């Protein structure tokens, strides 16, 4: 058992995904706080809009796949991308269509037309919603969403309200014990002058799961241990072994689960770090050679190709050589495990979590000013809540059982070497 496990009971949880501090409720009175509150609840608002539009279609054209008689001229007519206003935020949404086959004209949906004009959201409703989040009264919070965004509360089912409440609770407080993870990505995302360290898990069947995050000034060892300690406290299962993919940062490297993890340093970041020490005239050539070396299918071939670069790097810049040699073996872990051809697209770089960070950037780029920690946590949690259902399985997921076996064999060999 690792030191992290031994400290499990003593470590105070430092991160709660999307947790809203009670003191943040009072921020509704200023413009930034009001916008934050609206943005926090946009995923729930869009769910309410979708259900409202579908209900309107059923009222006009009847249930899907129901046989229509000649006295029923209204038919479902697919959907098209349009936009609606939730409060004063204009957002894209797929709008279902209804056609009158008798007159060959489209029948407008009143629910859609009602959402074509920006509207002010009652401050009291925003206050109630934020209080619901802060006090974890998720059902009360979800129940307020339709009214806040100009929808009829009676038209939104209790099933929607309860489902949204459960989703909020699950995302903020969910246990990790049920996830059979085989890999863990750790990376930092900059927000103003702060870093948000995000953990992304990959299950044995290839699903990507945002696990948690912590705010910090830098990606140092202490902060990264806080991330991992929080995951362990929430039930992270790592005894079967994990492949931990990192960008090579010192703090992230030292904070992995020693004894229960194989470390794969991002080959892209390593390549960029090495060439940054070289003259511009040499950067493209060395970058190509390193890319070709890392592209070799076997450990022996990749290592030989990289070793061949060392004499030239030493002549050009000793620092470039030192950069290549630092964590050298960790950049070849996937090769050493014998799975480079099968899993290179998913695990030789941090692209999986970089893609998540890119989606985070898209969802938060309109923030003009980061004012406090509570604001950052709410925005990151809201974005992850929106992103998670859209994450695809990793490429080569059917090879992940082989990855687990290879990790266990590697860790077993290391243990024998240590005890011998």
Q: How far is CA 343 from CA 9, 185, 199, 244, 261, in A?
A: 36, 15, 20, 14, 17
Judged by DSSP in three states, 120 sits in coil
Q: Flag whether 35 is in a domain.
A: no
Q: Flag whether 31 is in a domain.
A: no
pLDDT given for residue 202 in this prediction: 97
Tell me, yes or no, whether 161 and 186 share the same domain. no
Q: Flag whether 404 is in a domain.
A: yes
CB distance 156 to 164 below 8 Å: no
Tell me, yes or no, whether 194 and 285 share the same domain. yes
Tell me, yes or no, whether 266 and 240 share the same domain. yes
- Residues 185-218 pLDDT 10s: 988 777 666 777 888 999 999 999 998 877 766 6
Which one-letter DSSP state was computed for residue 30?
S
Judged by DSSP in three states, 179 sits in coil
CB distance 93 to 76 below 8 Å: no
Q: Flag whether 21 is in a domain.
A: no
> Side-chain half-sphere of 84: how many Cα atoms within 13 Å?
26
40 Cβ contact partners less than 8 Å away, ≥ 6 residues apart = 20, 130, 133, 378, 379, 381, 382
Tell me, yes or no, whether 207 and 130 share the same domain. no
Tell me, yes or no, whether 99 and 185 share the same domain. no
- φ and ψ at residue 148, rounded to 5 degrees: -65, -35
**Selection from 68-72, 174-178, 296-300, 390-394 with the highest mean pLDDT:** 296-300
Tell me, yes or no, whether 322 and 196 share the same domain. yes
Pairing of strands 208-216, 194-203: antiparallel
- Burial of 317 per CB tally in 10 Å (0-12, 13-18, 19+): middle
Q: Flag whether 34 is in a domain.
A: no
Among residues 183, 275, 197, the alpha carbon closest in space to that of 17 is found at: 197
Q: Flag whether 276 is in a domain.
A: yes
Helix H, strand E, coil C: the string for 206-272 is CCEEEEEEEEECCCCHHHHHHHHHHHHHCCCCCCCCEEEEECCCHHHHHCCCCCCEEEEECHHHHHH
Q: Flag whether 310 is in a domain.
A: yes
> Which H helix or E strand runs over 160?
helix 158-173
Please state the pTM of the whole predicted model. Answer: 0.61
Tell me, yes or no, whether 185 and 116 share the same domain. no
How far apart are alpha carbons 108 and 371 in whole angstroms?
A: 42
pLDDT interval class at 369 (50, 70, 90) = low
User: What range defines the domain where residue 325 resides?
Assistant: 181-413
pLDDT given for residue 13 in this prediction: 30
Which residue did the predictor score with more confidence, 250 or 98?
98
- Burial of 10 per CB tally in 10 Å (0-12, 13-18, 19+): exposed
Domain count, the chain: 2
pLDDT interval class at 18 (50, 70, 90) = very low
Distance between terminal CA atoms of the chain? 19
Average per-residue pLDDT in the chain? Answer: 76
Tell me, yes or no, whether 327 and 402 share the same domain. yes
How far apart are alpha carbons 126 and 122 in whole angstroms?
A: 7
Q: Flag whether 335 is in a domain.
A: yes
Judged by DSSP in three states, 88 sits in coil
Percent of the chain surpassing pLDDT 70: 63
- Residues 47-87 pLDDT 10s: 777 877 888 888 888 887 776 665 678 888 889 898 888 76
Buried b (16+ CB within 10 A) or exposed e, 295-315: ebeebeebbebbeebeeebee
């Amino acid at each position: 058992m690792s030191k992290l496990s031994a400290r499990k009971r003593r470590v105070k949880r430092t991160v709660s995904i999307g947790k809203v501090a009670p003191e943040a409720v009072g921020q509704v009175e200023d413009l930034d706080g009001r916008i934050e509150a609206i943005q926090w609840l946009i995923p729930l608002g869009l769910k309410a809009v979708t259900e409202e539009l579908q209900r309107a279609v059923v009222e006009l054209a009847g249930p899907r796949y129901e046989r229509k008689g000649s006295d029923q001229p209204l038919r479902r007519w697919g959907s098209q991308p349009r936009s609606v206003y939730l409060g004063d935020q204009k957002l894209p949404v797929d709008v279902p269509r209804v056609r009158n086959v008798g007159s060959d004209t489209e029948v407008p949906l009143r629910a859609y037309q009602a959402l074509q004009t920006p509207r002010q959201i009652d401050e009291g409703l925003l206050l109630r919603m934020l209080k619901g989040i802060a006090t974890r009264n998720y059902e009360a919070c979800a129940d307020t969403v339709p009214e806040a965004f100009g929808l009829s509360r009676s038209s939104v089912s209790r099933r929607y309200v309860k489902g949204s409440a459960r989703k909020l609770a699950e995302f903020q407080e969910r246990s990790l014990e049920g996830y059979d993870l085989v890999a863990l990505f750790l990376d930092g995302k900059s927000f103003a002058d702060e870093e948000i360290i995000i953990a992304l898990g990959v299950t044995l069947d290839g699903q990507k799961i945002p696990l948690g995050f912590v705010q910090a000034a830098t990606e140092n060892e202490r902060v990264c241990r806080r991330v991992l300690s929080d995951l362990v406290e929430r039930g992270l299962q790592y005894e079967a072994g994990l492949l931990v993919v990192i960008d090579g940062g010192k703090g992230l490297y030292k904070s992995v689960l020693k004894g229960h993890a194989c470390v794969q340093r991002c080959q892209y970041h390593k390549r960029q770090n090495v060439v940054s020490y070289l003259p511009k005239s040499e950067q493209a050539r060395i970058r190509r050679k390193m890319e070709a070396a890392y592209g070799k299918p076997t450990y022996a071939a990749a290592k030989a190709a990289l070793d061949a670069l060392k004499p030239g790097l030493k002549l050009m810049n000793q620092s470039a050589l030192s950069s290549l040699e630092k964590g050298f073996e960790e950049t070849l872990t996937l090769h050493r495990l014998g799975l480079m051809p099968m899993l290179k697209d998913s695990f030789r770089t941090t692209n999986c979590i970089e893609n998540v960070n890119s989606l985070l950037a898209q969802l938060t780029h309109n923030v003009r000013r980061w004012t406090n920690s509570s604001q950052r946590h709410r925005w990151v949690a809201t974005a992850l809540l929106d992103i998670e259902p859209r994450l695809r399985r990793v490429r080569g997921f059917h090879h992940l059982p082989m990855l687990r076996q290879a990790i266990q064999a590697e860790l077993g060999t290391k243990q024998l070497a240590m005890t011998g």
